[in-house]
Amino acid sequence: MLEKKLLAAAVLGAFALPGIVLAADPPKSAIPTLDQVLEASGVSLNGYIDAGYEYSNKEPSDRVFDTNRNSFDLHQVGLTVAKQPKEGFGGLVNITAGSDAQVIHSAPVEDSKFDVTQAYIQYATGALTVIGGKFVTLAGTEVIASPSNNNISRSILFGAIPFTHTGVRATYAVNDKVSLTGGVNNGWDQMQDSNRQKTIELGVGLTPIKPLAINISGYFGSEPTSGTTSASRSLIDVVATWTMSDALSFGGEYVDVKQDEAGGPGTPDAKYSGVAGYVTYMLKDTWRIAGRIEWFKDTDSFHFGGPADTKYSEGTVTLAYLPAKNTEIRGELRTDKASNDFFFDNGGGTLSKTMYSMGVQAIYKF
């Protein structure tokens, strides 16, 4: 009986004096989170998911990504890991998975829904940064990564320029208003060069006044035309952005491409050109509207392969809802027109000059 009373008193004492008992326990060490570990090491890790549904009354033959007509689609799962110090060596790896990955593969083309979109080593010293490996093009307003565009569908001009290059690129910031870029690579979307000639890239970034940014880029080299042959190709691209306020911005782009001996040795040269305009306005903190209009002339049927001297145009309006910092839901209406019959019904049959489409998209960033 005495032993039971002593045991009960010990238990009651433990509850009555918790401070004494807890004081005897060793302190627990705090475990750092993954974000804290990455921040301390200078490594950044981010990604996104892009899924949606697209409807069109014709085959979207002038599109790049949203070609799965009347279908739900996992367009992209993007992941980027980078360590890019302001001084010294660093690197970046960017992976894209999903249906869009099949389109952006570099040669030799793979039938895979997985793409190493960028992977390069970087060296920075002062105003000079040099990268070597695979990286996205200098040209164009719109980019591969979905969250960085304000519309769901990509422009015609987006499909008229290269996606990526494999080579070496150097960028020098002359001052806060001028930056210069130069490089040499295998050519348009070629991880392994299809010929011995290399392509030269040149770029100038200008910020003459704070609201205005102008980027001029050029590519000059020899690209594949027919079979195993190749001939000279040049690209000039000019992009301008005017940020009127935190809510309102305008943009414009002009692209011009010329290809020698487009059909092979001894065949005529070819060219195409286009212009696009953009406007973006934040209606409220959680709502944004974006518009795009463009005109494209495929003078020699080199780009689309449709009737010669066909002119294409499109207009797009996109409404976005941003319920959270890392989430965006978009809805879009788009009209495409051609000066000659170009758009197919159900993959064949009747041709039409006009196509209508609509889409919805959800983007989650992490």
Domains belonging to the chain, first-starting first, are 44-365 (2.40.160.10)
Burial (0-12, 13-18, 19+ Cβ within 10 Å), 300: middle
Retrieve residue 128's tokens.
Answer: 């000079």
Q: What is the pLDDT of residue 109?
A: 82
Beta strands in 24-173 (DSSP E): 44-56, 71-83, 88-97, 114-125, 128-136, 164-173
Is the dihedral angle over the CA atoms 276, 277, 283, 285 positive or is it negative?
positive
3-state secondary structure of 211: coil
Q: Of the given ranges (44-48, 131-135, 269-273, 343-347), which has the lowest mean pLDDT? A: 343-347
Tens-place pLDDT, residues 201-259: 999 999 999 999 999 999 999 998 876 678 999 999 999 999 999 999 999 999 999 99
Examine the pLDDT at 366 and tell me if it is beyond 60. Answer: yes
Q: What is the pLDDT of residue 32?
A: 79
Whether 229 contacts 256, CB under 8 Å: no
Tens-place pLDDT, residues 8-27: 444 334 334 344 444 455 55
3-state secondary structure of 70: coil
Say how far apart CA 322 and CA 106 lie, in whole Å.
34
Q: What is the pLDDT of residue 6?
A: 41
Q: What is the pLDDT of residue 38?
A: 79
Examine the pLDDT at 160 and tell me if it is beyond 50. Answer: yes
Q: Of the given ranges (29-33, 53-57, 324-328, 340-344), which has the lowest mean pLDDT? A: 29-33
3-state secondary structure of 12: helix
Say how far apart CA 203 and CA 217 lie, in whole Å.
4
- Residues with Cβ < 8 Å from 180, sequence gap 6 or more? 171, 172, 174, 203, 204, 205
- Under the banding of pLDDT at 50, 70 and 90, the label for residue 57 is very high
Q: What is the pLDDT of residue 226?
A: 74
Say how far apart CA 124 and CA 171 lie, in whole Å.
10
- Residues with Cβ < 8 Å from 327, sequence gap 6 or more? 362, 363, 364, 365
Whether 267 contacts 238, CB under 8 Å: no
Report DSSP state, residue 27: P
Q: What single letter denotes the amino acid at residue 245?
A: S
- Select from 271, 242, 274 the least CA-distant residue to 158: 274
Retrieve residue 325's tokens.
Answer: 């910092």
Examine the pLDDT at 344 and tell me if it is beyond 60. Answer: yes
Q: Does the N-terminal peptide bond of residue 211 adopt cis geometry, omega within 30 degrees of 0? A: no
Say how far apart CA 240 and CA 256 lie, in whole Å.
15
Q: What is the DSSP string of 154-202?
A: PPTGGGGS-SEEEEEEEEEE-SSSEEEEEEEES-TTBSS-SSS--EEEE
3-state secondary structure of 99: helix
Q: Of the given ranges (60-69, 120-129, 269-278, 334-343), which has the lowest mean pLDDT? A: 60-69
What average pLDDT does range 129-151 have in this prediction? 98
Q: What is the pLDDT of residue 265?
A: 87
Q: What is the pLDDT of residue 195?
A: 87
Say how far apart CA 11 and CA 343 lie, in whole Å.
84
Query: What does pTM read for this prediction?
Result: 0.87
Q: What is the pLDDT of residue 189?
A: 96
Tens-place pLDDT, residues 78-124: 999 999 999 999 999 999 999 999 999 998 888 899 999 999 999 99
Calculate the alpha carbon distances from 223 to 8, 189, 303 in Å. Answer: 89, 10, 14
Whether 170 contacts 128, CB under 8 Å: yes
Percentage of the chain surpassing pLDDT 70?
Answer: 90
- Phi and psi dihedrals of 145, rounded to 5? -65, 120
- Select from 158, 157, 152, 156 the least CA-distant residue to 358: 152
pLDDT: is 6 or 135 the higher one? 135
Q: What is the pLDDT of residue 142?
A: 98
Percentage of the chain surpassing pLDDT 90?
Answer: 75
Examine the pLDDT at 53 and tell me if it is beyond 90. Answer: yes
| 114-125 vs 270-284, strand pairing mode | unpaired
